[in-house]
A and B are shown apart, each in its own frame.
Chain A
């Protein structure tokens, strides 16, 4: 009965989920957006429900701008590092691993991906702590001065790795790496073998083949992975809270503003930053065909 009227049929299928996503999710996002155009009255601490751009103006204050730039910088660094580390793993897994190795690669990506996020952060806390494993390894290898030299670098160094930007960066890379590996691997698996053969038949050396055939075809996968690494880093507030210095990232700023400070409008304005960045990012990625690699 429904099959004869495809329009009605599709409509029936979609009614419930769209109502859910439309009302619960989009509705909430709109509510958030509306709040970012209100402002907090400095004297009474009450939110004034009148349209104003003052809250967005507050984002440009140097302390808040610092937070935004720091977060975006970290997201860029984490994304680049993830891409560099993920590529060899994805390449070997897609093109050369067979049988038992293939299973091992699958497991090595899936286990960290699906293991509890907090457990992963906790494990790194154990590794990076002052009395933890890395310190011990460096001492064993007689490399303690090297570790101390790294920690004494201004800005990114610190008292120990678990309270430095280097630590934050390492944990971010570890936690989001599988999201980079999977789409890259999927893209590499789709590169037709006959293209590679054609390239070498035409006299392309392995490196040339890689540069002109493999890499361009794998790029959508890398872009797809970067959507995850970038977006997740922008919004995370737990990793910098547990492993890192006392300087805030966007996520922490949002959390502090909406919680202890009670400044919901500013918190909302802060969250609009990642939304805008990710919106542009997704739009660019879509034009590059990155979604086909998901």
Chain B
């Protein structure tokens, strides 16, 4: 028994969708503009020239490479840690369970600048020099929650009787994990991993505090936003980043169709 949606509500929702999607479409147009100096709209002409120019830029490639490496390592770490917490929290009841789930959410619930400056002051107290690993340390910390969210949802649906049956049939813990648990949680880990990757690939606030001299792609872009050097190249990089992040989202969507979607992603 469904009541008809009131028209104003539909209009509101439609306007909301336009508001959400339009700015991203604009990026597509600007990547092809012939205008070099300003943000003039509508574009005076369209060209493919800037794609070639961007392709030749070593600084863009270097930043992209670093971002991909950081995202890969952080995702692997977050997968291990996040799955362990999810397994513990969902398979048993113990004292302090609530506190632990809060602890996992904390790096996301607190503003990124706090995580960033906290890590930075810890590094300076311990005399740890900035490097690739200091970036990873920060990224892995806030990626745990994304993996955890996806894995917890799946663990809750995994019935305990399967595991008990496996044990009764003489499998040891490791075999049970390999043949029962892992196949059951694989897709949710894949989804969580991809979201973690996208999150890390895009992170800028924590990274500004932990990167030192290294430059990830978002940091490169931030510098371009503050002190523009060549606007059209920034436009092209922006377009590429939109396209690259779109793919993992689509895959994650297809993998977790049954609706254990996560909202745990903060910048």
Contact = CB atoms under 8 A, between A and B. Distances in A.
Contacts of B9: 88, 91-92
Interface size class of A (residues with CB under 8 A): 35 or more
A96 B4 CA distance: 8
Contact of A7 (B19, B94, B124, B248): B94
B253 A106 contact: yes
Contacts of B1: 193, 197
Size class of the contact patch on chain B:
35 or more
B114 A29 contact: yes
Nearest to B195: A114
Contacts of B42: 136
Interface string B255-267: 0000001011111
Given A17-B144, A254-B113, A88 B12 contact: yes
Interface stretch (A60-68, A149-157, A231-239): A231-239
Contacts of A116: 201-202, 218, 221, 238, 241-242, 245
Contacts, number: 273
Given A24-B141, A274-B114, A16 B84 contact: yes
Contacts of B92: 6, 9-10
A118 interface: yes
B249 A123 contact: no
B52 interface: no
From A16, A85, A114, name the one whose CB has the most chain B CB atoms within 10 angstroms: A114
B170 interface: no
B238 A278 contact: no
Interface of A: 1-3, 6-7, 9-10, 13-14, 16-18, 20-22, 24-29, 31-32, 35, 85-86, 88-89, 91-93, 95-96, 104-106, 108-127, 129, 131-133, 135-136, 174-175, 177-179, 182-183, 186, 193, 197, 206, 227-228, 231-232, 234-238, 241-242, 251, 254-255, 258, 264, 267-268, 271, 274-275, 278, 282, 294
Interface of B: 1-3, 5-6, 9-10, 12-13, 16-17, 19-21, 23-24, 26-27, 30, 38-42, 80-82, 84-85, 87-88, 91-92, 94, 100, 102-107, 109-115, 117-122, 124-125, 137, 140-141, 144, 149, 167, 172-173, 195, 198, 201-202, 204-205, 208, 218, 221-222, 225-226, 234, 238, 241-242, 245-246, 248-249, 253, 261, 263-267
Given A133-B41, A241-B226, 4 more contacts: A112-B24, A122-B225, A133-B26, A274-B114
